[in-house]
């Protein structure tokens, strides 16, 4: 995780190639639950071959078969930046308790202002979840689980499962009466998985 890093220099030391950075992000974002960003399926396989860039996966669902990498459909996908710049930027944001100006950050990372603006925008988008941890939901909070991904297409003779057992990742959704809401991907819907996540995001009172 990003907490294993002690300095910006560490990013390049621990990730000598962009593929190392890709693996770092795969571990941080997916862990043991690689999911297809197109349909949410947990079933996919790595694509191999001379012409295939490493880190490319294909969904195993018959009705999807989508190809993806760890950054597909995330804010990181919008730029063609070296993933290590991204990781360094996230490291700087996470370790600057009083915040860091984007101008200073662009100088440390050596990127131009236009790139810097895109970086800043995307990181802010990704950080929304982290701010959610800081500001816990309070008062009356309703919690439910949801399964992420589209409806499976009809296949003759195949009864599509609903809810649990679809192989789709679950999300824990918590909503306060004041209209604030938090959503977080969870590996399963067992109580012992959900309890610490809820305690993190909801005021125990």
Q: Tell me how far, at minimum, the Cβ of 24 lies from Zn ion, in Å.
A: 23
Minimum CB distance to Zn ion, residue 167 (Å): 10
Find the shortest distance in angstroms from Cβ 166 to Zn ion: 12
> Is residue 69 part of the contact set for Zn ion (CB under 5 A)?
no
- Is 4 or 154 the residue whose CB approaches Zn ion more closely? 154
Chosen residue from 38, 84, 136, 168 binding Zn ion by CB under 5 A? 38
Residues with Cβ within 8 Å of 82's Cβ and at least 6 positions away in sequence, in order, are: 18, 21
> Looking at beta carbons only, is 62 or 121 nearer to Zn ion?
62
- Which range touches Zn ion (CB under 5 A), out of 1-9, 35-43, 48-56, 161-169? 35-43
Please, which residues bridge with residue 171 across strands?
Answer: 146, 185
Among 59, 87, 105, 122, binds Zn ion (CB under 5 A): 59
d(CA 147, CA 28): 21
Q: Which one of residues 8, 11, 25, 36 is an interface residue with Zn ion (CB under 5 A)?
A: 36
CA angle 42, 184, 31 (to 5 degrees): 45
Q: How many amino acids of this chain bind Zn ion (CB under 5 A)?
A: 8
- Residue 167 sits in the site that holds Zn ion (CB under 5 A): no
For Zn ion, the closer of residues 153 and 178 by Cβ is 153
- Min separation Cβ 63 and Zn ion, Å: 8
Q: Are 23 and 69 in contact, with CB atoms under 8 Å apart?
A: no
Cβ–Cβ contacts within 10 Å for residue 49, how many?
A: 7
What are the helix (H) ranges across the chain? 8-14, 18-29, 83-95, 102-109, 113-134, 191-201
Interface residue with Zn ion among 29, 66, 143, 148 (CB under 5 A) is: 66
CA 57 distance to own-chain centroid: 16
Complete edge-to-edge strand list for the sheet that includes strand 67-68: 44-46, 57-59, 67-68
Q: Is 39 in the site for Zn ion (CB under 5 A)?
A: yes
Which residues of the chain form contacts with Zn ion (CB under 5 A)? 36, 38-39, 41, 59, 61, 64, 66
């Amino acid at each position: 995780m990003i907490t294993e890093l002690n300095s910006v220099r560490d990013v390049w030391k621990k990730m000598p190639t962009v593929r190392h950075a890709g693996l770092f992000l795969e571990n941080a974002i997916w862990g043991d639950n690689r999911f297809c960003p197109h349909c949410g399926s947990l079933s996919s396989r790595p694509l191999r071959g001379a012409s295939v860039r490493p880190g490319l996966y294909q969904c195993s669902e018959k009705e999807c078969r989508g190809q993806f990498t760890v950054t597909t459909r995330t804010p990181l996908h919008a730029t063609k930046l070296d993933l290590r710049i991204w990781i360094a930027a996230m490291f700087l944001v996470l370790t600057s308790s009083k915040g860091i100006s984007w101008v200073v950050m662009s100088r440390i990372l050596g990127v131009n202002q236009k790139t810097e603006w895109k970086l800043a925008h995307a990181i802010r988008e990704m950080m929304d979840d982290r701010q959610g941890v800081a500001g816990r939901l309070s008062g009356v909070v309703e919690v439910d689980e949801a399964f992420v991904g589209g409806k499976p297409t009809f296949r003759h003779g195949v009864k599509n499962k609903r809810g649990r057992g679809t192989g789709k990742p679950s999300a824990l959704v918590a909503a306060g009466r004041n209209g604030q809401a938090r959503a977080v991907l969870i590996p399963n819907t067992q109580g012992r998985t959900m309890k610490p996540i809820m305690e993190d995001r909801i005021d125990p009172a």
